[in-house]
């Protein structure tokens, strides 16, 4: 009856807020329906084609790659390139269109299409208003190399037969070729509700009011060849043409071949020669002229492999970028699997000596895996832009592009937008979104809905949540990747369209990292890392203040004092190991060597935690349990087969590559299966074949005699890595920075604290904790002040060594320009008074008020209140010279009046000062807010943090303090709340059942009273909560003035908020 059908007009969800299905869903459905081929053509983009390509390859379906162009003349064409050259033209065409428009838009005219029409199959889409279309179609027939196809669809509008007849006539008159399509918007009719909701989000209307913005029916899904044949009865040639196009368009993305740029190679040398020269020089530098034999051998092996695979230009390109950074004094360090390479180490790209660490090059580049190397380099986050601009300069915009990041709908955003489209009010959607601590994968648990004060049984709400879940994972828009660059030898735009970013001077390609990976294109990750900024700033202070010049490479290693500090969990500000979870691990793991730090970095991660590997490792490390390496039963092979893999970690797999190795060795995965596993984990995809892989993995290990529990845990761990993979080499690179930052903190606490605050935003803690930690290390901290402070925090000579002087950058809301103007004016001559400061620095009245509110005029003899009084009167600009004299009399009269008035202002109580300090600086050097409550606390038998620390394990006691951190890791069984008082911090654990009882107190209290049982184990102290009260109101009753109300305001009930941004006391309503 039918010869088959290929669908050639389909949108995926990369036509944002229009297409209702993932490319994978379209491909799988097309395959299931028995379509001959599928053409996905999204609006003005090729962004979704790689995903479709990968899915089509897996499914064994022919994918026709193309794009739908919405032209400025108001007509739309679908273009399918026949070959690589035509694909290049299509990609170039899109690049041209995007170059003319702001981010996300594309401006193309018919004329552009004619110029790039060679080798393209062109399908003209009839617009709803058919009147002007005939002339346009005639023009297309005349101007294109061959007449276009004319798309005809049967969409059950009632007059479809008449419509088809009209189009057939039109085709006959103009010479265009009628082509059957189904104008597909989603893979199956069940997606129509989501497509309707997408239309509502797109148009900003509620579903009940969307009316004709929605489709009348659900016919725009993929249909079987038989169904299409039935609908297009009498138009068999229109169906046959779909197969004709499928036969013509044989281009596949697999044909994109990559060629490295050759800039970094000097003339007369081959890339390989040049690389070998550089490596030789680098090795001499790393090993001070005496390169160990082992290293020589490793280098020779690596270089040989690089030569065989022709990767030298890639290494040279990365080296070139790192060299630029070095010349500009920008700290840089490679991370990830590149740290397995001795070549990278000698080139100065990575900082870990792989030979010393016993890291293996073939984990980085494998001859068998035909994947290009992947080197990620971290740069200081503040100066990364300089590196990026260098790359653009060096390779040009047509050959260098930043990868895209596909921003997808997450639980929160999906609920918010679907809820709005469904007509729920802002407070309902806000409440729903607010209860999302992490993300929910399958459906929103009823308890969460109840927590939001809503009824989970409400069918309308259910429907909304179901739709939100469907929307999750849909791409929302493209953004530029933080620093993944694609570089090429030829014009990059012939491979992938390049568009403008929202940020000026930025362009980015349409594909993300996974897409580039899937096609094997080369990329370099230029990432920003806050800790590198901090370290460089600290090095700067050491050089200017202490005259000590350091680089990452020559910080002295193996310093016992540094490890002692780490074992005490005294690690606020130290890279990676400063979080609450890491800190509670440190006293148990007790790192003493560099490799211990590598493990410390890797162990507090979803992988080892989900695999329940943490406790076994700790027990073995503390020698409470024997090291045992699991193995198969003897008849299934070498019982010691995992020894090489697990020996270093006491038989417990902790790193991602160990887990993968177990898959290959213990579960006997083939290379192909291992790749599938890697793929399934790497990307946020529909699950499905995960379960198959799990059965295979666990089943085979059990079959071979491994304990079932071990096999199960290994797979759980791999799943955990899916969210956040952590290979050993990566942990080693990070551990290097852990050590360096800990070393700086230990030896130069003042400089470290200053650098840390100058590099904000970064790290886990707020300035208040950084400052109080510095104080504990004996650092004198001085307040921010207009007379002494710079913009940055800095060191000032003190009686003993140096004191830390807070910078004006700590003043909330003060612009950097105001700070700079102030410093420049002060440089010329010290300020006489506030008026003088305002006149000479020329800062705004508002900036002046902010400084006054931050109590920064003490050195000019005015406390906060007096300064505010004075600042409020200095609004007018400097008087004109002509009136200066006339004004003098008034001025004189005024100044006596002012003096009287100032004397009449009541003095501000200390407690109010402290509250105001927290509001304007987010910290106070004067006192801790809780110290004012200590008397009242005593009466009620509350322990201080210091007293609690000294109490015995199992003791029942109560503490109270301001809430610093609320966390619910992994949406799990426990909530962690960190309280702070004037003596330190207490970590409280609230089990879920307790939490349910005290939810309101925990979520909105600023000051909590927690009574419970103390758990003290190996120096890690937790208070397990049994009873909780919200004591926030006490803060108000003990204070006077506005502080009273402001301290009393309840905290907004929100889920996870970064501890760095938590405000102990809410911002005031008048200074912001």
Partner 1 sequence: MPLTDAKARLPALAHEPADLAGDSAALHRLAAWCLRYSPFTAADGGDGLLIDATGCAHLFGGEEAMLIRIERDAAKAGFTARTGMAETLGAAHALARFAGERESRIAPPGGLRESLEGLPVEALRLDEKTVLLLRRLGLERIGALYALPRRALARRFRSKAAGEAVMRRLDQALGHEGEAVSPLHPTPAFRVSAGFAEPVTEEDFLPEIFRRLAEDLKPLLEREGEGGTRWGFRALRVDGGAASFTFRTAAPVRESGHLVRLFRERLGQPDHGFDLGPGAEHFLLSAEETAPFDAAQSAFAGRDHEKGEETARLAALADRLMARFGETRVKRQEPCPSHIPERAASVKGFSHEMRGREAGWQAARVHAPSQRPLRLLPRPEPIEVMAEVPDGPPLRFRFRKAMHQVARAEGPERITPEWWRLENGVFDEIRDYYRIEDVSGRRYWVFRAGLYEGPQAGDRVPSWFMHGFFA
List contacts with partner 1 (CB under 8 A). 128, 156-159, 161-162, 188-190, 192-193, 196, 207-212, 214, 216-219, 221, 227, 422, 426-428, 430-431, 450-454, 459-460, 463, 865, 868-869, 872-873, 875, 894, 897-898, 900-901, 904-908, 1000, 1004, 1040-1042, 1050, 1053, 1068-1070
Q: Which is nearer to partner 1, 207 or 1028 (CB)?
A: 207
User: What's the Cα-to-Cα distance from 1035 to each of 778, 939, 1047, rounded to whole Å?
Assistant: 29, 16, 6
Contacts of 577 (CB under 8 A, 6+ apart): 566, 571, 583, 586, 597, 600, 601, 738, 742
Q: Which is nearer to partner 1, 637 or 1042 (CB)?
A: 1042
Spell 162-201 as b/e; 16+ CB within 10 A means b.
ebbeebbebbeebebbbbbbbbbbbbbeebbbbbbbbbbb
* DSSP notation for 467-498: HHHHHTT-EEEEEEEEEEEEE-SS-GGGTS-E
User: What's the Cα-to-Cα distance from 22 to each of 29, 155, 251, 677, rounded to whole Å?
Assistant: 11, 22, 22, 21
Q: Which is nearer to partner 1, 158 or 556 (CB)?
A: 158
Q: Which is nearer to partner 1, 58 or 863 (CB)?
A: 863
Q: Which is nearer to partner 1, 702 or 874 (CB)?
A: 874
* DSSP notation for 946-968: HHHHHSPTT-EEEEEEEEEEEE-
- Please say whether the beta carbons of 767 and 917 come within 8 A: no
3-state secondary structure of 578: coil
- Please say whether the beta carbons of 876 and 837 come within 8 A: no
Residue 619 CB neighbour total at 10 angstroms: 15
C-alpha 589 chain-centroid distance: 29
Query: From CA 290, how far away is CA 93, in angstroms rounded?
Result: 55
Query: From CA 264, how far away is CA 273, in angstroms rounded?
Result: 12
- Please say whether the beta carbons of 164 and 154 come within 8 A: yes
Q: Which is nearer to partner 1, 459 or 634 (CB)?
A: 459
Query: From CA 760, how far away is CA 764, in angstroms rounded?
Result: 10
Contacts of 871 (CB under 8 A, 6+ apart): 834, 845, 848, 849, 851, 852
Query: From CA 533, how far away is CA 537, in angstroms rounded?
Result: 6
Strands of 730-863 (E only): list them: 781-782, 794-797, 802-805
Q: Which is nearer to partner 1, 29 or 136 (CB)?
A: 29
Q: How, if at all, do strands 149-152 and 177-180 pair?
A: parallel
Q: Which is nearer to partner 1, 217 or 1037 (CB)?
A: 217
Q: Which is nearer to partner 1, 127 or 830 (CB)?
A: 127
Q: What φ, ψ does residue 420 adopt, rounded to 5°?
A: -65, -45
Q: Which is nearer to partner 1, 344 or 915 (CB)?
A: 915
CB of 1042 to partner 1, least distance (A): 5
Pair of tokens at residue 874: 């200095």
Pair of tokens at residue 444: 């929103």
CB of 503 to partner 1, least distance (A): 35
CB of 451 to partner 1, least distance (A): 6
How wide is the angle at C-alpha 918 spanned by C-alphas 912 and 920, nearest 5°?
100
The residues with which 178 forms a beta bridge, in sequence order, are 150
User: What's the Cα-to-Cα distance from 48 to each of 11, 66, 113, 1004, rounded to whole Å?
Assistant: 10, 10, 21, 43
Q: Which is nearer to partner 1, 817 or 897 (CB)?
A: 897
Query: From CA 82, how far away is CA 85, in angstroms rounded?
Result: 8
User: What's the Cα-to-Cα distance from 463 to each of 420, 460, 466, rounded to whole Å?
Assistant: 13, 5, 5
Nearest CA among 253, 228, 208, 202 for reference residue 19: 202
Pair of tokens at residue 401: 């592009």
- Please say whether the beta carbons of 484 and 403 come within 8 A: yes
- Please say whether the beta carbons of 618 and 589 come within 8 A: yes
Q: Which is nearer to partner 1, 209 or 558 (CB)?
A: 209
Q: Which is nearer to partner 1, 777 or 1049 (CB)?
A: 1049
- Please say whether the beta carbons of 760 and 767 come within 8 A: yes
Q: Which is nearer to partner 1, 85 or 873 (CB)?
A: 873
DSSP state of 505: T
Residue 963: half-sphere exposure toward Cβ, Cα within 13 Å = 31
């Amino acid at each position: 009856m039918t010869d088959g059908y290929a669908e050639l007009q389909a949108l995926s969800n990369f036509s944002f807020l229009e297409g209702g299905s993932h490319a994978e869903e379209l491909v799988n459905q097309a395959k299931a329906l028995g379509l001959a081929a599928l053409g996905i053509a999204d609006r003005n983009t090729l962004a979704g084609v790689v995903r479709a390509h990968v899915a089509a390859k897996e499914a064994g379906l022919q994918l026709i790659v193309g794009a739908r162009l919405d032209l400025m003349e108001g007509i739309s064409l679908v273009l399918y390139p026949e070959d690589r050259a035509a694909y290049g033209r299509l990609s170039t065409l899109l690049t041209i269109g995007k170059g003319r428009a702001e981010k996300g838009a594309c401006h193309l005219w018919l004329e552009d299409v004619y110029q790039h029409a060679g080798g393209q199959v062109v399908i003209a889409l009839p617009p709803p208003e058919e009147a002007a279309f005939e002339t346009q179609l005639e023009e297309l027939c005349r101007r294109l190399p061959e007449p276009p196809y004319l798309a005809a669809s049967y969409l059950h509008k009632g007059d479809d037969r008449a419509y088809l007849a009209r189009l057939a006539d039109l085709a006959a008159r103009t010479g265009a070729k009628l082509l059957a399509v189904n104008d597909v918007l989603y893979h199956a009719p069940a997606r129509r509700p989501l497509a309707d909701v997408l239309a509502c989000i797109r148009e900003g209307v509620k579903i009940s009011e969307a009316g004709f913005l929605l489709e009348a029916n659900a016919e725009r899904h993929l249909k079987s060849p038989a169904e299409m044949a039935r609908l297009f009865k009498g138009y068999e040639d229109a169906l046959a043409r779909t197969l004709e196009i499928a036969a013509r368009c044989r281009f596949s993305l697999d044909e994109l071949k990559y060629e490295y740029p050759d800039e970094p190679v000097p003339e007369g040398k081959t890339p390989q020669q040049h690389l070998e020269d550089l490596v030789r020089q680098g090795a001499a530098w790393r090993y001070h002229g005496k390169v160990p034999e082992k290293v020589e051998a490793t280098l020779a092996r690596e270089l040989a492999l690089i030569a065989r695979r022709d990767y030298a230009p890639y290494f040279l390109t990365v080296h070139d970028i790192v060299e630029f950074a070095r010349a500009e004094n920008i700290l840089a360090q490679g991370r990830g699997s590149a740290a397995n390479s001795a070549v990278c180490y000698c080139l100065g790209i990575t900082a870990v000596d792989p030979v010393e660490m016993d890291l293996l090059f073939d984990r980085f580049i494998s001859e068998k895996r035909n994947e290009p190397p992947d080197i990620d380099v971290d740069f200081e986050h503040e100066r990364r832009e300089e590196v990026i601009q260098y790359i653009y300069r060096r390779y040009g915009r047509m050959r260098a592009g930043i990868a895209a990041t596909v921003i997808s709908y997450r639980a929160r955003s999906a609920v918010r937008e679907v809820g709005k489209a469904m007509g729920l009010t802002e407070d309902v959607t806000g409440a729903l979104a607010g209860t999302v601590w992490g993300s929910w994968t399958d459906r929103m648990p009823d308890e969460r809905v109840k927590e939001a004060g809503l009824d989970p049984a409400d069918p309308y709400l259910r429907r909304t949540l179901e739709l939100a879940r469907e929307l999750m994972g849909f791409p929302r828009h493209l953004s530029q990747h933080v620093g993944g660059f694609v570089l090429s030898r030829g014009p990059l735009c012939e491979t992938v369209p390049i568009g403008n970013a929202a940020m000026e001077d930025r362009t980015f390609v349409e594909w993300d990292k996974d897409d580039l990976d899937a096609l094997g294109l080369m990329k370099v990750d230029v990432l920003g890392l806050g800790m590198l900024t901090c370290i460089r700033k600290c090095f700067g202070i050491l050089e200017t203040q202490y005259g000590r010049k350091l680089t990452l490479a020559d910080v002295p290693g193996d310093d016992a004092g540094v490890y002692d500090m780490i074992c005490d969990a005294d690690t606020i500000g130290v890279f990676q190991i400063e979080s609450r979870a890491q800190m509670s691990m440190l006293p148990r793991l007790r790192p003493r060597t560099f490799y211990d730090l590598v493990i410390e970095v890797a162990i507090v991660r979803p992988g080892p935690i989900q695999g329940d590997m943490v406790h076994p490792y700790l027990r073995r490390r503390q020698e409470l349990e024997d090291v045992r390496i699991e193995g198969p039963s003897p008849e299934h092979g070498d019982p010691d087969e995992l020894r090489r893999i697990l020996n270093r970690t006491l038989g417990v797999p902790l790193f991602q590559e160990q887990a993968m190795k177990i898959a290959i060795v213990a579960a006997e995965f083939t290379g192909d299966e291992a790749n599938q596993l890697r793929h399934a984990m790497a990307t946020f995809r529909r699950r499905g074949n995960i379960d198959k892989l799990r059965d295979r993995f666990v089943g085979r290990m059990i079959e071979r005699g491994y304990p079932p529990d071990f096999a199960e845990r290994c797979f759980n761990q791999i799943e955990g890595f899916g969210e956040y993979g952590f290979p050993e080499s990566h942990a080693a690179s990070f551990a290097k920075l852990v050590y360096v930052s800990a070393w700086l903190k230990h030896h130069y606490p003042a400089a470290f604290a200053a650098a840390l605050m100058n590099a904000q935003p970064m790290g886990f803690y707020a300035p208040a904790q950084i400052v109080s930690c510095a104080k504990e290390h004996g650092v004198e901290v001085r307040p921010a002040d207009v007379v002494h402070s710079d913009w940055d925090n800095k060191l000032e000579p003190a009686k003993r060594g140096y004191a830390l002087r807070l910078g004006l950058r700590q003043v909330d809301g003060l612009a950097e320009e105001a700070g700079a103007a102030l410093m420049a004016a002060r440089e010329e001559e010290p300020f006489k008074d506030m008026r003088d400061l305002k006149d000479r620095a020329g800062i705004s009245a508002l900036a002046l008020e902010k400084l006054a509110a931050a109590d920064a005029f003490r050195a000019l003899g005015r406390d906060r209140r007096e300064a505010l009084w004075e600042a409020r009167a200095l609004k007018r600009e400097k008087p004109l010279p002509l009136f200066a004299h006339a004004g003098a009399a008034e001025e004189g009269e005024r100044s006596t009046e002012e003096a009287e008035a100032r004397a009449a202002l009541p003095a501000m109580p200390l407690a109010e000062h402290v509250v105001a300090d927290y509001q304007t600086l987010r910290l106070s050097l004067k006192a801790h807010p809780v110290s004012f409550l200590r008397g009242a606390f005593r009466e009620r038998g509350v322990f201080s943090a210091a007293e609690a620390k000294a109490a015995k394990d199992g003791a029942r006691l109560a503490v109270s303090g301001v809430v610093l951190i609320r966390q619910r890791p992994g949406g799990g069984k426990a909530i962690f709340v960190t309280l702070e008082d004037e003596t330190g911090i207490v970590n409280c654990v609230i089990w879920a059942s307790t939490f349910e009882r005290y939810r309101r107190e925990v979520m909105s209290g600023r000051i909590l009273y927690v009574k419970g049982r103390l758990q003290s184990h190996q120096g890690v102290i937790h208070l397990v909560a049994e009873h909780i009260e919200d004591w926030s109101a006490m803060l108000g009753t003990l204070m006077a003035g506005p502080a009273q109300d402001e301290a009393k305001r309840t905290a907004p009930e929100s889920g996870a908020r970064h501890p760095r941004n938590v405000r102990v006391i809410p911002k005031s309503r008048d200074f912001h």
